[in-house]
Chain A
Amino acid sequence: MHRLALILLLFLSANGFSRNIIVGKNQPVSSIRKAIEIAKDFDSITVLPGVYKEGALQLTKSLTIIGQNYPILDGENKYEILLISGQNITVTGLAFRNSGYSALNDYASIKLVDASKVTIAANKITNAYFAIHVSNTSYATIKNNNITGTPTSEQLTGNGIHLWKSRYALIENNTIQGHRDGIYFEFVTNSTIRNNHSEKNIRYGLHFMFSNDDAYLNNTFKDNGAGVAVMYSKKVKMENNHFDQNWGPSAYGILLKDISDSYISHNTFYKNTVGIHMEGTSRMTIERNKFKENGWAIKVQASCENNSFQRNNFTGNSFDVGTNGSLSLNEFSNNYWDKYEGYDINRDGVGDVPYHPVSMYSMIIEQNPNALMLLRSFTVQLLDKAEKAIPSLTPENLVDKKPMMKSLKL
Chain B
Amino acid sequence: MMKVSKYVLYDILRSKIVLAYTLFLLIVSLSMFNMEENSSKAMLSLLNIVLIVLPLVSLVFTTIHYYNSYEFIELMSSQPMSRTRIIISEFAGVSVSLLSAFLVGVGLPILLYAPDETGFALLLTGMALTVVFVAIAFFASVRSRDKARGIGAALLLWFYFTLIFDGLILLMIFNLSDYPLEKITLPLISLNPIDVGRIFVTLKMDISALMGVTSALYKDFFTSSTGLLFTIGIMLLWTVLPLWLAIRRFNKKDL
A–B in direct contact per CB < 8 Å: yes
Range class of the A interface residue count: 35 or more
A6: min CB distance to chain B, Å: 61
- Quick one: which of A273, A378, A382 contacts B209, CB cutoff 8 A? A273
Which of the segments A178-186, A197-205, A315-323 contacts the partner chain? Answer: A315-323
- Quick one: which of B41, B47, B207 contacts A271, CB cutoff 8 A? B207
Flag A365-389 by CB within 8 Å of B: 1 or 0 each. 0001111111111111110000000
CB-CB nearest in chain B for A273: B212
CB-CB nearest in chain A for B176: A370
Query: Are B213 and A249 in contact, CB atoms less than 8 angstroms apart?
Result: yes
In residues 372-409 of chain A, which contact B (Cβ within 8 Å)? 372-382, 406-407
Which of the segments A161-169, A228-236, A291-299 contacts the partner chain? Answer: A291-299
CB-CB nearest in chain B for A253: B208
Given contacts A249-B213, A375-B210, A382-B163, is CB(A406)–CB(B37) below 8 Å? yes
Most buried by A among B37, B181, B213: B213
Bound Cα distance from A382 to B243, whole angstroms:
32
How many A-B residue pairs have C-beta atoms within 8 angstroms? Tell me: 113
Q: In the complex, which residues of chain A have a beta carbon less than 8 angstroms from the beta carbon of B47?
A: 376
Bound Cα distance from A293 to B206, whole angstroms:
7
Q: Is A358 an interface residue (CB 8 A)?
A: no
Q: In the complex, which residues of chain B have a beta carbon less than 8 angstroms from the beta carbon of A248?
A: 211-212
Most buried by B among A315, A364, A378, A407: A378
Flag A335-376 by CB within 8 Å of B: 1 or 0 each. 000110000000000000000000000001000111111111
Q: Is B68 an interface residue (CB 8 A)?
A: no
Q: Is B177 an interface residue (CB 8 A)?
A: yes
Given contacts A249-B212, A273-B211, is CB(A293)–CB(B166) below 8 Å? no
In residues 143-188 of chain A, which contact B (Cβ within 8 Å)? none
A7: min CB distance to chain B, Å: 66
- Quick one: which of A339, A375, A381, A407 contacts B206, CB cutoff 8 A? A375
B94: min CB distance to chain A, Å: 24
Q: Is A251 an interface residue (CB 8 A)?
A: yes
Query: Are A316 and B185 in contact, CB atoms less than 8 angstroms apart?
Result: no
Query: Are B167 and A379 in contact, CB atoms less than 8 angstroms apart?
Result: yes
Q: In the complex, which residues of chain A have a beta carbon less than 8 angstroms from the beta carbon of B174?
A: 368, 371
Bound Cα distance from A381 to B177, whole angstroms:
21
In residues 136-193 of chain B, which contact A (Cβ within 8 Å)? 162-163, 166-167, 169-170, 173-174, 177, 181-182, 185-186, 189
Flag A260-284 by CB within 8 Å of B: 1 or 0 each. 0000000000011110000000000
Q: Is A101 an interface residue (CB 8 A)?
A: no
Bound Cα distance from A248 to B211, whole angstroms:
5
Most buried by A among B41, B51, B167, B195: B167
B residues lining the A interface (CB < 8 Å): 36-38, 40-41, 44, 47-48, 51-52, 162-163, 166-167, 169-170, 173-174, 177, 181-182, 185-186, 189, 195, 198-199, 201-202, 205-214
A residues lining the B interface (CB < 8 Å): 245, 247-249, 251, 271-274, 293-296, 315-316, 318-319, 338-339, 364, 368-382, 406-407
